[in-house]
Amino acid sequence: MYRILIMSDDAVLRKAVAFTLNDLEAHIECTDRMETMLALFRREAFDLVIVMGTAAQMCRHEVMETLRADKRRSPRVFVISWAQSENVSRRMLTLGVNQYMTLPVSLHRLRRKVVNEMGRWS
């Protein structure tokens, strides 16, 4: 089963994204803190990590280093954040973020991207 980890400090946004994806054949876990997300990731394998609202934190080398440490289970990483400077956006992509979308995000568009990613794993 596909495993998705959602991290956002905004409870409404976190729940809205989880609800949008809840009918997919996937196990979804949610957290409200970056530290908890990294701890969960170290313990369990996730296929997709969705991080919302914290683009600056995703630019910290240790965050992406943790997500990319085990080459056998390298997850797809989506970051959804308020518009960032081109340098921040480029840095995220250089560090290994697969998708960068700006808030406000269309939940329908996000769901489509997740479904497309899941199709690649089938």
End-to-end CA distance of the chain: 10
> How many domains does one find in the chain?
1
Please give the average per-residue pLDDT across 23-47, as a whole number.
Answer: 90
What CATH number is associated with residue 78? 3.40.50.2300
pLDDT band at 17 (very low <50, low <70, confident <90, very high): very high
Cα distance between residue 104 and residue 107, in whole Å: 9
Residues listed for the chain:
122
Cα distance between residue 82 and residue 54, in whole Å: 9
For the sheet with 76-81, list strands across it.
26-31, 2-8, 48-52, 76-81, 99-102
pTM (global) more than 0.75: yes
Q: Under a CB-based contact definition with an 8 Å cutoff, are residues 18 and 30 in contact?
A: yes
Domain boundaries, position 18: 2-121
pLDDT band at 86 (very low <50, low <70, confident <90, very high): confident
